[in-house]
């Protein structure tokens, strides 16, 4: 179940509130274009700025619009009990898995990370996908830690976003059979597939689901040259969507595509005009405008 392309959805806002109508259209748009599910309330969804009521609203809308495909809900915090509680709530709302980021700010040891994720898997009631993104959390989950956690009942995969192919290879070497290793770096997903990775949780797939899903399927089915061509077609979009802090570039891109306003919550701010021009050019080159 946890292989393929999973768009990390933006949370549209309008006049300070969640734009539910735009969110519903966005979910339908990506699911109609060949992806395996969606991620709600992750980094790209501005989860840290959502109230619990808004977080619940977003997960509920995504579940309602997802038909038979799975919704993965971002439930991670830097408090283990709060993460367990939010994971239980995600299950009640109909999510099929929890994306759980390594606790930020606290900077736990590797033993602390193992204890944290083991507790969430034991008590949260949903399959857990680990989320390793040291650039945001301040702590890197080592391959050995991920390998150990891959053998904990209820932990089914990792979104790996440390930016190191050496680390990806080491994770794939030591992880348990059936454990999904998913790219968290859009520009590295094709190299990860070549090493044996199982898919991607992707910001770019929210703007370009057909192209990102097509690249995964082409590689999976042995059409390597086609996958390579799609990678290079998408490369300007990868660069543009991460030219400033995610999800600010994506919010601008989606506003140009008709999926809500270019509205972020502080401390994030809209991208500069120079970045807007970069995004416009990349969207046009991918046939998205």
Q: Using one digit for the tens of pLDDT, what is the confidence trace for 212-229?
A: 999 999 999 999 999 999
In CATH terms, the superfamily for domain 4-223 is Aldolase class I (3.20.20.70)
Task: State the alpha helices, DSSP H only, in the chain.
Answer: 20-31, 52-65, 80-93, 110-123, 134-137, 143-149, 165-174, 189-195, 204-207, 209-220, 224-241, 248-257, 273-285
Does residue 54 register a pLDDT over 90? yes
pLDDT of residue 138: 95
Q: Using one digit for the tens of pLDDT, what is the confidence trace for 58-109?
A: 999 999 999 889 999 999 999 999 999 999 999 999 999 999 999 999 999 9
Q: Which of 60, 104, 107, 159 is catalytic?
A: 159
216 in active site: no
Q: Which of 104, 131, 229, 232 is catalytic?
A: 131
Does residue 285 register a pLDDT over 90? yes
| Arithmetic mean of pLDDT, 167-192 | 97
107 in active site: no
Q: Using one digit for the tens of pLDDT, what is the confidence trace for 123-166?
A: 999 999 999 999 999 999 999 999 999 999 999 999 999 999 99
Closest CA to 54 of 92, 91, 16: 16
Specify whether the CB–CB gap between 45 and 9 falls below 8 A.
Answer: yes
The pTM of the whole model exceeds 0.85: yes
Specify whether the CB–CB gap between 180 and 156 falls below 8 A.
Answer: yes
Q: Using one digit for the tens of pLDDT, what is the confidence trace for 225-254?
A: 999 999 999 999 999 999 999 999 999 999
Q: How much is the mean pLDDT over the chain?
A: 97
Residues 6+ apart with CB under 8 A from 115: 80
């Amino acid at each position: 179940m946890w292989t393929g392309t999973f768009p990390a959805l933006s949370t549209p806002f309008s006049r300070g509130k969640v734009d539910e109508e735009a969110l519903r259209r966005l979910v339908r748009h990506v699911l109609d274009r060949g992806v395996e599910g969606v991620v709600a309330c992750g980094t790209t969804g501005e989860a840290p700025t959502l109230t619990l009521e808004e977080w619940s609203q977003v997960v509920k809308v995504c579940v309602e619009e997802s038909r038979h495909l799975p919704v993965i809900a971002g439930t991670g915090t830097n408090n283990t009990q709060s993460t367990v509680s939010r994971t239980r709530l995600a299950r009640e709302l109909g999510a099929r898995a929890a994306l759980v980021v390594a606790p930020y700010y606290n900077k736990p040891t590797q033993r602390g990370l193992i204890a944290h994720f083991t507790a969430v898997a034991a008590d949260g009631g949903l399959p857990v996908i680990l989320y390793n993104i040291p650039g945001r959390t301040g702590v890197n989950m080592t391959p050995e830690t991920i390998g150990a956690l891959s053998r904990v009942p209820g932990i089914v995969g990792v979104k790996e976003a440390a930016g190191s192919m050496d680390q990806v290879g080491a994770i794939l070497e030591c992880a348990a059979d059936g454990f999904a290793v998913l790219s968290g770096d859009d520009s590295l997903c094709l190299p990860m597939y070549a090493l044996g990775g199982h898919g991607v949780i992707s910001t770019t797939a929210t703007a370009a689901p057909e192209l990102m899903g097509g690249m995964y399927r082409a590689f999976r089915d042995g059409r390597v040259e086609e996958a390579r061509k799609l990678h290079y077609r998408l490369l300007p979009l990868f660069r543009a969507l991460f030219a400033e802090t995610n999800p600010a570039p994506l919010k601008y891109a989606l506003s140009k595509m008709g999926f809500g306003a270019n509205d972020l919550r502080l401390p994030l701010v809209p991208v500069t005009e120079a970045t807007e021009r970069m995004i416009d050019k990349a969207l046009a080159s991918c046939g998205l405008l």
